[in-house]
């Protein structure tokens, strides 16, 4: 049964806000996205008021969930700080970070000593999650998601506790790469429970909306959805959370890079000049918000014939290594263009997991080693 925006608004009209007026009249609602039984919106309030609104957020979510035909509801509470307003006691752009899991203290640190709640963005650590690493690319189709999942699996093989968030809201590919079709459930603390596959917790907007559902994301909705997938998910204790970023270097990516407390970024590029220009933009974007580039990965670096193993440098292999040297960022490794990588990914069984003793798994693990070393403070 299709649920439309008007039904959602009608349900929200019955929810009273802390301002004493119906939620629909409190001038706090974002655009409402309703498609195919899935409803997303955010309640935008001043940071100082955020706590008072948490209960309202819960009631709004319950009211929408009660509409016949609604299968998924995500209501984010986003707090904007007015320019010049006194800082709130807690950077409360999201309700959920106030819940502590009693897990080990946050171990992530800001590069260059930037405070966690710097003017660059309202960054709140995720309790229990150590380093958050973005896997990014200047443009789509270079193998960013394939690299992200295989890298996550490589780090898993190195003994780290790893999670993967598919934040590519424009084209979530983790459902395809993992074969997961089920939806995450909510736990008693009303957090989404990530789906465990290959021994790692996974979360993707694609689990909620389906890979084929076209979603039109407007400005603030992007961050709302991503915030919920970061802070409203029961990640548990993780050494590393890999975030598969949306491709490109536009506003959505910049906001994400600013607001998520990233430890560093891994840039995926193919060797061609054009891709490298985009990769360079990616590095510049992260450096603008003080996120260090942990390194560049050259994907589809050379072609390896599946029949005879012969190697050909069809894309002018080596471009990313030169670029890394030029930009003085680490070069992390070369991944060949190989059928096994494509077919295993597209069959929901990434190569590091399905062929752990093969040559490709070894390459991803070697890249993982370099990242692990950097997390431990070494230079590579």
Residues binding ligand ADP (CB under 6 A): 137, 140-146, 173, 247, 299-300, 335, 337-338, 341-342, 345-346
In the chain the first and final C-alpha atoms are separated, in Å, by 55
**Sequence-ordered alpha helix ranges (H) in 200-267:** 205-209, 219-231, 251-259
**Sequence-ordered alpha helix ranges (H) in 309-355:** 319-327, 339-346, 351-354
Q: Which is nearer to ligand ADP, 26 or 243 (CB)?
A: 243
Cα–Cα distance for residue pair 5/34, rounded to 1 Å: 6
Q: Which is nearer to ligand ADP, 110 or 144 (CB)?
A: 144
The nearest distance, CB 141 to ligand ADP, in angstroms, is 5
CA distances from residue 284 to 16, 143, 248, 348 in whole angstroms, order as listed: 45, 20, 12, 33
Q: Which is nearer to ligand ADP, 168 or 323 (CB)?
A: 168
The nearest distance, CB 338 to ligand ADP, in angstroms, is 5
Which residue minimizes CB distance to ligand ADP?
143
Cα–Cα distance for residue pair 352/346, rounded to 1 Å: 13
The nearest distance, CB 245 to ligand ADP, in angstroms, is 9
**Sequence-ordered alpha helix ranges (H) in 23-105:** 50-65
The nearest distance, CB 341 to ligand ADP, in angstroms, is 4
Q: Which is nearer to ligand ADP, 61 or 278 (CB)?
A: 278
Q: Which is nearer to ligand ADP, 137 or 259 (CB)?
A: 137
> Exposed, middle or buried, 58 (CB in 10 Å: 0-12/13-18/19+)?
middle
The nearest distance, CB 368 to ligand ADP, in angstroms, is 16
The nearest distance, CB 177 to ligand ADP, in angstroms, is 7
Q: Which is nearer to ligand ADP, 30 or 150 (CB)?
A: 150
Which of 315, 300, 283 minimizes the C-alpha distance to 363?
300
**CA-based torsion, 205, 338, 325, 154: positive or negative:** positive
Cα–Cα distance for residue pair 379/292, rounded to 1 Å: 12
Q: Which is nearer to ligand ADP, 262 or 300 (CB)?
A: 300
Cα–Cα distance for residue pair 219/226, rounded to 1 Å: 12
Tokens, residue 152: 């996550």
Q: Which is nearer to ligand ADP, 141 or 316 (CB)?
A: 141
Q: Which is nearer to ligand ADP, 41 or 302 (CB)?
A: 302
Q: Which is nearer to ligand ADP, 45 or 252 (CB)?
A: 252
The nearest distance, CB 287 to ligand ADP, in angstroms, is 21
The nearest distance, CB 129 to ligand ADP, in angstroms, is 23
User: How many C-beta atoms surround the C-beta of residue 304 within 10 A?
Assistant: 18
Cα–Cα distance for residue pair 316/318, rounded to 1 Å: 7
The nearest distance, CB 94 to ligand ADP, in angstroms, is 26
Cα–Cα distance for residue pair 375/242, rounded to 1 Å: 13
- What backbone phi and psi angles, to 5 degrees, belong to 226? -70, -40
The nearest distance, CB 337 to ligand ADP, in angstroms, is 4
Which bin fits 379, alpha (ψ -120 to 50), beta or left (φ > 0)? Answer: beta
Which residue do the tokens 């299709």 mark? 2
Cα–Cα distance for residue pair 354/361, rounded to 1 Å: 9
């Amino acid at each position: 049964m299709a649920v439309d925006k008007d039904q959602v608004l009608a349900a929200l009209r019955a929810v009273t806000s802390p301002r004493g007026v119906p939620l629909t009249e409190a001038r706090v609602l974002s655009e409402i996205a309703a498609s195919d039984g899935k409803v997303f919106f955010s309640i935008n309030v001043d940071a100082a008021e955020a706590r008072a609104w948490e209960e309202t957020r819960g009631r709004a979510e319950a009211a929408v969930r009660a509409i016949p035909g609604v299968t998924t509801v995500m209501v984010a509470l986003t707090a904007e700080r007015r320019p010049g307003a006194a800082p709130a006691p807690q950077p409360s752009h999201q309700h959920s970070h106030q819940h502590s899991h009693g897990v080990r203290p946050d171990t992530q640190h800001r590069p260059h000593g930037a405070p966690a709640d710097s003017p660059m963005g309202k960054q709140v650590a995720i309790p229990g999650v150590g380093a958050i690493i973005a896997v990014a690319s200047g443009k789509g189709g270079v193998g960013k998601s394939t690299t992200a999942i295989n890298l996550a699996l490589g780090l898993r093989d190195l003994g780290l506790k790893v999670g993967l968030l598919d934040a590519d809201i424009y084209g979530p590919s983790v459902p395809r790469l993992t074969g997961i079709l089920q939806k995450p459930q909510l736990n008693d603390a009303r957090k989404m429970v990530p789906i465990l596959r290959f021994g790692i917790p996974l979360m993707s907007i694609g689990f909620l909306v389906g890979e084929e559902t076209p979603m039109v994301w407007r400005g603030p909705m992007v961050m709302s959805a991503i915030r919920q997938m970061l802070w409203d998910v029961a990640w548990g204790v993780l050494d590393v959370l890999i975030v598969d970023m949306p491709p490109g270097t536009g506003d959505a990516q910049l906001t994400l890079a600013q607001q998520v407390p990233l430890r560093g970024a891994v840039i995926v590029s193919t060797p061609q000049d054009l891709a490298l220009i985009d990769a360079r933009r990616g590095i510049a974007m992260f450096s603008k918000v003080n996120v260090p580039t942990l390194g560049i990965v050259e994907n589809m670096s050379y072609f390896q014939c599946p029949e005879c193993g012969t190697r050909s440098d069809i894309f002018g292999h080596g471009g990313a290594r030169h670029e890394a040297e030029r930009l003085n960022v680490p070069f992390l490794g070369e991944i060949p263009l190989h059928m096994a990588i494509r077919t295993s990914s597209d069959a929901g069984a990434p190569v590091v997991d399905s062929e752990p003793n093969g040559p490709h798994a070894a390459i991803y693990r070697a890249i993982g080693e370099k990242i692990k070393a950097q997390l431990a403070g070494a230079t590579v």
